[in-house]
Amino acid sequence: MVSGILAVLLSGTVAPAAAASPGSEPVYDYAKAVRETVWVDIGRDGDGDGRSDRVAADIVRPSEATSRVPVIMDASPYYSCCGRGNESELKSYDSAGKPVKFPLFYDNYFVPRGYAVVLVDLAGTNRSAGCADVGGASDVDSARKVVDWLNGRATGYSAKTGGSAVTASWSTGNVGMIGKSYDGTIANGVAATGVAGLKTIVPISAISSWYDYYRSDGATFGFNPAGLAQTVEARNSGQNCSAQNQVLTQGATANGDYGPLWADRDYVRRAGTVRASVLLSHGVNDLNVKTIHFGQWWAGLNVEKKIWLSQTGHVDPFDYRRADWVDLLHRWFDHYLLGIGNGVQNGPQASVERQPDQWADQSAYPAAGAVATTLRPGVSGTLGTSPASGTASFTDNPGLGEDTWVTDPGSAALTYSTGSLASDLQVSGTTSLTVTATPSTSSARLSALLVDLGPATIRNFAGSGEGIKTGTSETCWGSSTSGDDACYRVATADAKKVSYTILSRGWADLANYASLSQERPLTPGTAYTMTFRLASTDHIVPRGHALALIIGGTDGSFIRGPAQPGRVTLDLARTSASVPLLGIPPAATTHPAPAVGEHVPSADRADLR
């Protein structure tokens, strides 16, 4: 039986909406649409060839429109190297270089409805000049300058070099940026500049701070931005990006310090300058662009915003809730780009997937009424609000990962549990953990998990589809041509029964206890206090399950271990978690937690597509 918070949320009950204005209709002939490329000058010489870089903006727009039209833009580095969407679509061109294939359904669906769709090749990728700088000024300006051009503030040309000036006389100047992963990240970055004309962004599984993609509170994930730059530049011959790649290599120091390169790519610092509305989507089990990204970005925004949180990994909502997503995008763009009063900005702020294909609306994210609650580990393995005392130790074993920590931690990790809950407990927001730790060696890592101990059916986010199975049947969304069809394979939920669910993770290097910008040597036998974050989430731990906090050293599923793994001792009186909770946690309990048995391996994903 579903009970408490979960029963209310799964009911999905919302107040009746007021009558909305009609939306845009498919009145334009997609086959007759204008297809062209304009190269926009971004005012930088990233490849050092002595010329200002121009980025390629491939445009498709209704030819019959008698008035100016707004723009939906997806700026990406992946249009020739890696592809977009679940079917990895690439751009294609005819023999004269005119664009034919526009990846994804945006052009097929929205151009007949009176929109232009503009797909921008970031500097150094596909047909653009320059070099990729992985979220830096060149990447961001690749899209920002196109927004400027659409508003008459930048210069576009008919060719990559030379050519004649081209204006966007057909554009209203209203732009909405959309994209998954790297593409959505660029939307965040452009919005953080406050550029005029950008009316809305739709970041899907997007990065908000590149530091948090490659590092975590001093800990390192083991991959670096120069490798990604070289991947996206690989099919763009004739450019020398070695100098820019060296900048990335030197700036991304081998340790986890937060330095100037990361500060330049930290959009959260500038979230207060965002003027565009935000429709955000993220998988709460995304192990690629981890969920701290949406949590900190969301918290910094002061604009109209809505959020979808799925149980998937790194997956586009088009592939897990297709019809509802297309309908929402249609109404969202109609409102913010065409000015149609359809009320899409009203109603529940959040929609959260509680079980595969079972969604619940919430009035807010984090959930209204959720309170930062201090939970303390007890020496007997309890987790509650009562004060604690004593010490506990673990021995760092970088060869073990999170699932072993849950099922059979041995001496590698410490488990603290609420015991069986008398009522539902919702974790909604971002958790932080404060530890006072004494290392036995001069280097130490810290990792922590929040775990729902109890059986559930979830999306198989650790599987090859990260929670979806792609079939062979197709559905079509918009108009097609011989070179660009609007039909995409249907994906269904890949569900799995589990005995526990890891709902939040966090990692840190104890050497950064005093400063994220500069690690300090550790003295064996000396106690250090450090606070670090666990990933943002929204999860209900049902009555009868237990909420557990697991603390250990190197979580080998994700981070690199220290030079000298050793034993770490926690002062429990000065160790606690601040967890955003809706519901009543126990003060402390000796009731047993539900047993866990199934080992469910998970894998870190460094593919940013």
Is there a contact between 418 and 516 (Cβ–Cβ < 8 Å)? no
| Whole-angstrom distance, CA of residue 331 vs CA of residue 343 | 9
Which of 283, 284, 281, 328 has the alpha carbon at shortest distance from 187? 281
User: Of 282, 293, 314, 335, which residue is the catalytic one?
Assistant: 314
Query: What is the CB-side half-sphere exposure of residue 329 using CA atoms within 13 A?
Result: 28
Rg over CA atoms, the chain: 25
Least-confidence region, from 6-10, 59-63, 498-502: 6-10
User: Of 24, 142, 181, 602, which residue is the catalytic one?
Assistant: 181
Q: Above pLDDT 90, what percent of the chain?
A: 90
Establish whether 286 is a catalytic residue: yes
Owner of token pair 């830096």: 136
Residue 8 is predicted with a pLDDT of 39
Q: Phi and psi dihedrals of 3, rounded to 5?
A: -135, 170
CA 448 to chain centre: 20
Q: Which residues pair with 178 in a beta bridge?
A: 202
List the structure tokens of 603: 């894998």
| Whole-angstrom distance, CA of residue 606 vs CA of residue 609 | 9
Residue 235 is predicted with a pLDDT of 76
Domain definitions of the chain by residue range = 371-460+497-582
Q: Which residues contact 418 (CB under 8 A, 6 or more apart)?
A: 375, 382, 383, 384, 425, 546, 547, 548, 585, 586, 589, 593
H or E segment to which residue 166 belongs: strand 165-166
| Whole-angstrom distance, CA of residue 418 vs CA of residue 243 | 53
pLDDT tens digits, residue range 279-295?
999 999 999 999 999 99
Establish whether 576 is a catalytic residue: no
What number is the average pLDDT over the span 192-206? 98
Which of 119, 296, 275 has the alpha carbon at shortest distance from 191? 275
How many other C-beta atoms lie within 10 A of the C-beta of residue 185?
31
CATH class entry, domain 371-460+497-582: mainly beta
pLDDT band at 234 (very low <50, low <70, confident <90, very high): confident
Amino acid at 408: D
Amino acid at 540: I
Establish whether 330 is a catalytic residue: no
Owner of token pair 């050519």: 163
pLDDT tens digits, residue range 545-583?
999 999 999 999 999 999 999 999 999 999 999 999 999
Residue 602 is predicted with a pLDDT of 41
Is there a contact between 465 and 491 (Cβ–Cβ < 8 Å)? yes
pLDDT band at 607 (very low <50, low <70, confident <90, very high): low
DSSP code of 245? Answer: H
Residue 600 is predicted with a pLDDT of 38
| Whole-angstrom distance, CA of residue 466 vs CA of residue 463 | 5
User: Of 286, 334, 396, 555, which residue is the catalytic one?
Assistant: 286
| Whole-angstrom distance, CA of residue 147 vs CA of residue 132 | 19
Residue 236 is predicted with a pLDDT of 73
Query: Angle between the 137-150 and 182-191 helix axes, to the nearest 10 degrees?
Result: 70
- What is the sign of the dihedral through the CA atoms of 470, 473, 477 and 483? positive
Mean pLDDT is highest, among 232-241, 512-521, 592-601, for 512-521
Q: Which residues contact 518 (CB under 8 A, 6 or more apart)?
A: 257, 512
Residue 595 is predicted with a pLDDT of 57
